[in-house]
């Protein structure tokens, strides 16, 4: 399978490209009714990619067959970021407004809808809950494949990295430069 990269657009399409030959896209996916805000490849299944749009809809796609595998609306607001659980892909996190939604990585069935941030400790397979994670809207999520940590950033420009052992969160202030 070629090295791939994916792009999304305000034109409501998602494209998968051969990273070594970007003259044309390998696949174009349509079906979102709003601008696509985020996407992520499944860490273990090379033919699965997920996307979320500005209307709170999350979709998973087969890159081999160019079809939609599952579609779920996680919120009435903007779903701005989504990430698969690193290495395993069992869970999919989607950030929307002040909530983080935890979905089953296979079916996109919602497991939790949180006004707080809830994170699974990958090594111990247990849940860690951080109440009132941010004052503002959750604007971004990032996951480390090295440590398993997940970081979030709010629209009010604070960043948070929870310690998975103590459940304490380090909040980092907004910075310039």
CA distance 52 to 38: 6
Q: Which residues pair with 16 in a beta bridge?
A: 6, 27
Instruction: Tell me whether residue 23 is in a domain.
Output: yes
Residue 157 lies in a domain: no
DSSP codes, 52-105: EETTSEEEEEETTTTEEEEEEE--SS-EEEEEEPTTT--EEEEEETTEEEEEET
Q: Which residues of 152-166 are buried (b: 16+ CB within 10 A; e: fewer)?
A: bbbeeebbbbbebee
Residue-wise DSSP of 5-16 = EEEE-TTS-EEE
Overall pTM > 0.85: no
Look at residue 161 in the predicted model and tell me its pLDDT.
Answer: 47
In a domain, 46, yes or no: yes
Assign residue 67 the CATH number of its domain: 2.130.10.10
- Is residue 135 predicted with pLDDT exceeding 80? no
Residue of 25, 55, 18, 60 whose CA lies nearest to 37: 55
DSSP state of 108: -
Confidence label for 32 from pLDDT (cuts 50, 70 and 90): very high
Name the residue with higher pLDDT: 109 or 146: 146
Quick one: pLDDT at residue 90?
Answer: 76
**Residue 149 in domain:** no
Task: Flag whether pLDDT at 156 surpasses 80.
Answer: no
Kindly list the distances between the CA atom of residue 94 and the CA atoms of 1, 59, 79, 136, in Å, as whole numbers in the listed order.
Answer: 28, 11, 7, 16
> Domain range holding 15?
4-127
Mean pLDDT across 114-129 = 52
Does residue 14 fall inside a structural domain? Answer: yes
Contacts of 146 (CB under 8 A, 6+ apart): none
Q: How many domains does the chain have?
A: 1
């Amino acid at each position: 399978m070629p090295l791939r990269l994916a792009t999304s657009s305000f034109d409501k399409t998602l494209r998968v490209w051969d990273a070594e030959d970007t003259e044309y896209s390998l696949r174009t996916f349509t079906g979102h009714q709003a601008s696509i805000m985020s996407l992520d490849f499944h860490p273990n299944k090379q033919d699965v990619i997920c996307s979320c749009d500005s209307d709170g809809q999350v979709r998973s796609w087969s890159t081999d067959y160019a079809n939609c595998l599952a579609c779920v609306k996680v919120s009435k607001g903007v779903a701005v970021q989504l990430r698969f659980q690193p290495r395993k892909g069992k869970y999919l996190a989607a950030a929307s407004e002040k909530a983080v939604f935890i979905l089953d990585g296979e079916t996109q069935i919602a497991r939790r809808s949180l006004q707080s941030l809830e994170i699974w400790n990958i090594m111990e397979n247990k849940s860690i809950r951080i109440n009132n994670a941010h004052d503002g809207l959750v604007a971004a999520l990032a996951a480390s494949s090295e440590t398993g940590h997940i970081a979030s950033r709010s629209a009010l420009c604070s960043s948070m990295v929870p310690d998975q052992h103590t459940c304490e969160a380090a909040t980092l202030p907004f910075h310039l430069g």
